[in-house]
Amino acid sequence: MNKSSRENSLFLISTRGKKGLSAIIATLLIILLTLLAIGIIFVVIKNIIPDSSATSKIEEVSIWEQINDGDIYSIEVFRTPVPDGWLVMTKYYSDGIATTYIPDINHKWEVKNE
């Protein structure tokens, strides 16, 4: 057995006369890899960013009483009784929502409607 026939028997596929990938196939592979990377990044970011429905879950569980009508500085204030006090939620139209606990053991806080 000569050297060239031995080399051919070791390799199942001969690379003689074959050219590299065509430009179209290479471009499609790059596009496919890019889309795959974008999908992976999207899934990772979606799992890192907190769910924006957390506020709506709080609103579903509690009964919120509106304290003001939202005319002053575009702010609405709500409250709900919790053990030993009040949970107060402030909705800012431009910035979002803030929540605070106000201690009031006997729930004596009265809202004056003007």
If asked whether residues 96 and 62 sit together in one domain, one would say yes
- Res. 37: pLDDT tops 90: yes
- pLDDT score of 7: 52
pTM: 0.42
In a domain, 112, yes or no: no
- pLDDT score of 18: 61
Contact at 8 Å (CB) between 58 and 74? Answer: no
- pLDDT score of 100: 87
Instruction: Name which residue leads in pLDDT, 113 or 89.
Output: 89
If asked whether residues 45 and 63 sit together in one domain, one would say no
User: Shortest CA distance to 87 belongs to which of 102, 108, 65, 76?
Assistant: 102
In a domain, 72, yes or no: yes
If asked whether residues 64 and 97 sit together in one domain, one would say yes
If asked whether residues 62 and 78 sit together in one domain, one would say yes
How far is 114 from 103, CA to CA, in rounded Å?
Answer: 24
Structural domain range at position 36: 20-49
- pLDDT score of 70: 62
How far is 88 from 69, CA to CA, in rounded Å?
Answer: 15
- Res. 55: pLDDT tops 60: no
If asked whether residues 65 and 42 sit together in one domain, one would say no
